[in-house]
Structure 1
Amino acid sequence: MESQIGFASQGELLKAIFDAFGILPRKEDPRDLFDEKEKKTLQKRLKRLANEEGGLGSNFGEGVVTLSSLLSIYLPDMTLMSAIGDVLSDVQEAYVALLRTEGTYLSKGETIRYFMSIRAVPLLVMSLHRSVLFYRPDTLWLKTPADRFWYLPSIDAEGQVTLPLEKVMRWAYETCGTSQTQFHFPGKNPTSENARLQNNLDNAVNWTRGSHMPSLPGLLRNFSESFSAMSAAGKEIPNAMKDSILANLVLSRFSSYVSREITKAYGVEYLREICAQFCSYDSYIELDLGEFYREIAPVISTKATKEDQLATRAKAVGDYWSFLTEKIVMAQEELQQAYDPYRGLVSEGVFDALTRKYGAFAVQASVDPTHRKKQFQPPYCFFQMLGLGFELKRDGLIQWEQIENYAADIENHSLGDHLGWLVAWLRAAYCYRKKDYTAAMPHYQQAFDLAKYRAGKSQYDLVNQYVEVAAKNGKNKCFKNGVAWAQYLQIPIRWLRDDEPTDEKLDMVFYMLKVARYDHQL
């Protein structure tokens, strides 16, 4: 993995989702559904996101719309599309919240692992269950493999991984009552010749062996052609079953890609660990959901129409999830109060009492991340130098020589990649206090660029100062880039706050920041 310190960018995040679904256009595949204009538009949009150009929120939003449009080609059921979209939206919002609230001293690779272990796994368990509860009445047509965790990889004692795609493919063959060979090449025998069906069979064998990850268009085309070939050979598969198989292929292709990337980056033991973590959280939330099912069933049974039943269910799911989230927050607060700093734990009696009070999921979702954070230790002197940097920044009488000495100490402790943004911010603030905004601008630019995916909640002050000094220097493009980043992270900008960033409004904010001074907030 890369050694650069910080979170992955939003452009990298969106491209990873495209890659996981396998729907990015491929030059070598003349049969994909993109024309050249669409390919160039998508590639340009992803490039703009990667380069952080233009309106970050709007570019990300357009990328998500494009992703949804492409997926709808292969997964035309809009209810299932909505369920997938809700889960992805929850993950993206959690990632943005992490950028906004937590700084990092980890490399990109380790920061992603931190996000998965600390935030993503419990969030995915909650989000998946909420989607199932909310959309289940409209997705009862969808048949899935009997294995409860078919969408997760299985790992045996020797470390051999069975990917979800293989599970779904073998389930499809079993469900259709045929072998892999006869599924993809019906009637195959030593004398039969059909290059297209033979190619489909060869590809399917490679996919089940995990030696190659198919594009989504190639995967679904293979199975659609196999359904047609079986029909021509007199074996008709019901449309409902075909739809279920294709839908499961979409989902399993996504999870298989993610599983392979995790294994490549962190090894098979981490994959085993994160799957066990997911299953553990799932068992805890099932205990909570028993209460929900017991309470909602009799209420729904009193509703005469399907519309009323769905409306009642939707409201109940929303209310219950607010209740579950509140329980997690309350459990966290009580666990913090009960924490024994000398023994480094919460007593077993307190733990059991809180579990009875708030449920196993709420308590585990509070305790488990705390234990896992211990795996991600900071480099030597990181917090000491971070604290010293903020002390210097608050000192209105600081001298340039002190800043340079601090910068030298940062380098001596090999923390330049970790805290370079704070060094640049110190220099910028020094110039600001001297009213030398021209000299301050390049330092603010460096601090802003370096802090984006590193500084967490410190970005509130930094971004506001950056857009102010950009305005004072007449740098409208820098000003707008700062505002766009602030809006992406939901950071309020002075004079704009929650207002729509129209050109007229931005011109007003630009002018006000050009003439105002905020020395007291440095």
Structure 2
Amino acid sequence: MNDNFPTLGELVKFAFDVAGVLPRKRGESDGLNDADKKIIQKRLERLVDEEGSLTDRCGELISSLAFLTAGAIPNVKVNLAFGESVMDLFEIYNAVIRDEGTYLNKKDSILWFCRAHAIPRLALSIQKHSLRFNLAYEGFAIPPDPNWYLPTISGDDIVWPIRKVMSWVYETCGVSRTHFHYPGKSADSDHAELQQNLDNASAWFNGKRLPSWPSLSWNFARSFEHLENHSDAAYQRQFPEKLRESIFQVLFLSRLSTSICNLIKEAYGTVVLERLIVQFTQHRDWLSAELDSFVAETTAYIQGYSIPPIAIDTVWMEFSERYWRWFSDHYADFAKKLGYLLEQNDYSPLPTNTVAELIQTYGEYSVRTTLEKLEINREFPIPPDFPRRLDEGFVLKKKNNCSDEDIDQYLREIQQDGLASHLNWMERWLRAVVRYRNGDYESAFYHMEYALEQAKYRAGGSQYLLVNQFIELAAKTDRWKSFKKGVEWALYLGISIRWLRDREPDEEALQFVFAMMQKANYAQL
């Protein structure tokens, strides 16, 4: 598959890779033994191959990742906020796979997803969950630069987040990089471990390579230990626990951001990376301005009613839930108004004065981000004949006397339009339908299996019927393993399965569905 989104397995593996929590070298500590690591690797492999329950496999791996990040972010509230933000991105990805689909190649599909969905959602989720969990109350130290977790780009020069945070750590601790990692280093000193730590840190600082999280955390932990126990008062330092915790948290987040941004730069270039950074900061700043009043009102309530410290977190959580419900309703009202205005304007860009009036009523964040998404979609235009050829495919599917000759003609037409790679799943689905109606279930399954594999990460909402028909044909050809694989995909996407509906998909229920689908025939596919 070339015209598709990344698979679920690829996405979860990407999350593990960029988090850097699995050691790359023997001896790096992460709280896991060798057996645990082998289990995680095996689960990743099975998820990539989409074996077994997708929901269970994915849940197990997310739990493992959460356990590993808990070691990097031990503060419960920060860890929950981080986890909720990641899950928001994951849910957005699932919704796009389920409902929208793609007509772009994988590289462009990823870029479109980042610009239209991931960047906007991340900018919102970070602020939303920071307030929900009242992280400001924790009193963590962070770098003064509001963009410390983002690369700074100036021409061909890039200052990565990990360098920013390492510089801040040295400044905060009042020690140079050399003496932080090798306290008391001189021409006469000879300490192999400390010299190695300094060499590694210098390589990370200068962008020569990116460490795994176990390597980075171990290096800084050893540096803290050596500084606290140093015999020379000129180098000895004591670090409050809150500062130490703060440092490890920002190190983890800066390393994560550096890893992701590096991959974007390698795949799309510096110009695209800078564009994504600008988009993120704009969304963050638009939303932050609108949240100021909510923060002020909540703070005033806490102070005005002398809320005891033990109850402050509950107030922030409850007020946040109420605010975001209002936010959702407010946005729905805006979307309805915008839809009407766009229809009246023949879906052309709205006049400047109309945009200004919308901002006055609905706020800059909702208006700017929604109009931006419309512009982003225009940058990734649908191939001109794609909607028509897709509709023609569904018309053919409903045609009771549809034949291979009709499908051959359809294939020639989509090839002439350059859409064969976009709609190959439709062509094979049609051939499966023809054979189903002729009672040739073996041949129908052969085509349907290919159609489903091609449709999974590209067809969006168009695959609902296809998935059910795949499940039925797997039953009719007595393929239990394929049947369960189809069921798992349907459950993952939230697709209702004939004969199962709202029943729990346990073994007994699935056996019942399998048996019924072996017997049932449907006049209309």
TM-score (norm 1): 0.95
2:233 — aligned with what?
Answer: none
Contact kept, 8 Å, 1:25 with 1:39, in 2: the verdict is no
2:368 pairs with one of 340, 364, 380: 364
Counterpart among 127, 151, 154 of residue 152 in structure 2: 154
The residue identity in structure 2 corresponding to 1:334 is K
> Could you tell which deviates more after superposition, 136-145 or 208-217?
136-145
TM-aligned CA deviation for residue 208 of structure 1: 1.1
In structure 2, C-alpha distance between the alignment counterparts of 1:378 and 1:217, rounded to whole Å: 44
Amino acid across the alignment from 2:445: M
Residue aligning to 2:192: 195
Task: Tell me if the contact between 1:331 and 1:366 (Cα under 8 Å) persists in the aligned partners.
Answer: no
Residue 44 of structure 1 deviates from its aligned partner by 0.7
2:431 aligned with 1:433: no
Match of 1:270 among 255, 269, 272: 272
**Counterparts of 2:333 and 2:121, CA distance in 1:** 17
Taking structure 1 as reference, are residues 164 and 466 closer, same or farther at Cα in structure 2, changes over 3 Å only?
A: same
1:383 maps to 387
Between stretches 75-84 and 322-331, larger displacement belongs to: 322-331
Q: Does 1:294 align with 2:291?
A: no
Name the structure 1 match of 2:5: 7
Could you tell me how far apart the structure 2 residues matched to 1:319 and 1:141 are? 25
Contact kept in structure 2, 1:303 and 1:309, CA below 8 Å: no
After superposition, what is the alpha-carbon deviation per residue over 1:418-467, rounded to whole angstroms, capped at 9, x for unaligned?
11111111111112222332221111111111100010001111111111
Alignment of 1:112-127 (within 5 A): 112-127=110-125
1:213, distance to aligned residue in structure 2 (A): 0.5
Contact 1:324/1:362 (8 A) holds in 2: no
Matches within 5 A, 1:1-80: 4-26=2-24, 28-33=25-30, 34-80=32-78
How many residue pairs get aligned? The number is: 517
1:512 aligns to 2:512 (yes or no): no
Q: Comparing 135-144 with 479-488, which one deviates more in the overlay?
A: 135-144
AA matched with 1:29:
R
- Pair 141,498 (structure 1): closer, same or farther in 2 beyond 3 Å: farther
Residue 454 of structure 1 aligns to a residue in which SS? coil
What is the aligned partner in structure 2 of residue 407 from structure 1?
411
Between stretches 346-355 and 4-13, larger displacement belongs to 346-355
Alignment of 1:208-227 (within 5 A): 208-227=205-224
Note if contact 2:425-2:451 (Cα within 8 Å) is conserved in structure 1: yes
Q: Is the 8 A contact 1:328 1:363 kept in 2?
A: no
How far apart in 2 are the matches of 1:498 and 1:367? 38
Aligned with 1:161: secondary structure? strand
Q: Does 1:336 align with 2:334?
A: no
| Equivalent position amino acid for 1:276 in 2 | V
Change in 2 beyond 3 A, CA 1:504/1:306: farther
Match of 1:239 in 2: 241
Q: Which moved more, 1:472-481 or 1:385-394?
A: 385-394
The alpha-carbon deviation at position 151 of structure 1 amounts to 0.9
Q: Retained in 1: the 8 A contact 2:94–2:493?
A: yes
Instruction: Pick closer, same or farther for the CA change 1:342–1:501 going to 2, 3 Å.
Output: closer
Structure 1 partner of 2:225: 228
1:130 alignment counterpart: 128
Residue 310 of structure 1: how far off its partner (Å): 2.4
Quote the sequence identity (%).
36
Q: In structure 2, what is the equivalent of residue 281 of structure 1?
A: 283
> Could you report, residue by residue, the CA deviation over 1:217-263 in whole angstroms, capped at 9, with x for unpaired residues?
00000000111111122222222211111111111111110000000
Deviations 1:172-211 (A, max 9, x none): 0000011111111111111111111111111111111111
**C-alpha contact (below 8 Å) 1:213/1:257 kept by paired residues:** yes
CA distance in 2, matches of 1:125, 1:329: 19
Residue 328 of structure 1 contacts residue 365 of structure 1 at CA under 8 Å; is this kept in 2? no
Structure 1 residue 118 displacement after superposition: 0.1
Q: Which residue of 2 aligns with 1:352?
A: 356
CA distance in 2, matches of 1:196, 1:25: 19
2:23 aligned counterpart, secondary structure: coil
The question of whether the paired residues in 1 share the 8 Å contact of 2:130 and 2:136 is answered with no
Q: Aligned AA for 2:149?
A: Y
Q: Does 1:314 align with 2:317?
A: yes
1:303 Cα deviation from its structure 2 partner: 5.7
Equivalent pair of 1:122/1:278 in contact (CA under 8 Å)? yes
SS at match of 1:49: helix
Q: Which amino acid aligns with 1:164?
A: P
Deviation at 1:356, TM superposition (A): 1.6
Query: Which amino acid is the alignment partner of residue 41 of structure 2?
Result: Q
For 1:88-145, what per-residue CA distance to the aligned partner results, in whole angstroms no more than 9, with x for missing partners? 0000000000000112111211111111100011111110011110122576232110
Offset, 1:380: 5.8
CA 336–380 in structure 1, closer or farther in 2 if over 3 Å, else same: closer
Paired residue secondary structure (1:417): coil
**1:443-454 to 2 correspondences below 5 Å:** 443-454=447-458
Q: Does 1:470 align with 2:467?
A: no
Alignment TM-score, normalising by the size of structure 2 = 0.95
Decide whether the 8 Å contact of 2:134 with 2:313 is kept in 1: no
State how far apart, in whole Å, the 2-side matches of 1:476 and 1:138 are.
53
Q: Following TM superposition, by how much is the alpha carbon of 1:348 offset from its aligned partner in structure 2, in angstroms?
A: 2.4
Matches within 5 A, 1:97-116: 97-116=95-114
**Cα–Cα, structure 1 residues 296 and 431, in superposed 2: closer, same or farther, change >3 Å?**
same
Aligned to 2:254: 252
* Superposition CA RMSD, Å: 1.8
Number of the residue aligned with 1:185: 182
For residues 60 and 198 of structure 1, the distance between their equivalents in structure 2, rounded to whole angstroms, comes to: 41
Does the 8 Å contact 1:184/1:200 carry over to 2? yes
Contact persistence 1:144–1:244 (CA under 8 A)? yes
Query: 1:415 and 1:32 mapped to 2: Cα distance?
Result: 50
Change (3 A) 1:296 1:138: closer
> Any stretches of 5+ residues in structure 1 without a counterpart?
none
- 192-201 or 403-412, larger mean C-alpha shift: 403-412
Q: Tell me the amino acid that sits aligned with residue 330 of structure 1.
A: D
1:279 Cα shift? 0.9
Does 2:459 align with 1:455?
yes
Distance 2:211 2:448 in 1: 45
Q: Counterparts of 1:177 and 1:205 in 2: how far apart (Å)?
A: 17
Find the counterpart in structure 1 of residue 489 from structure 2: 485
Q: CA deviation at 1:379?
A: 4.2
SS at match of 1:147: coil
The 3-state SS of whatever aligns with 2:379 is coil
* SS across alignment from 1:369: helix
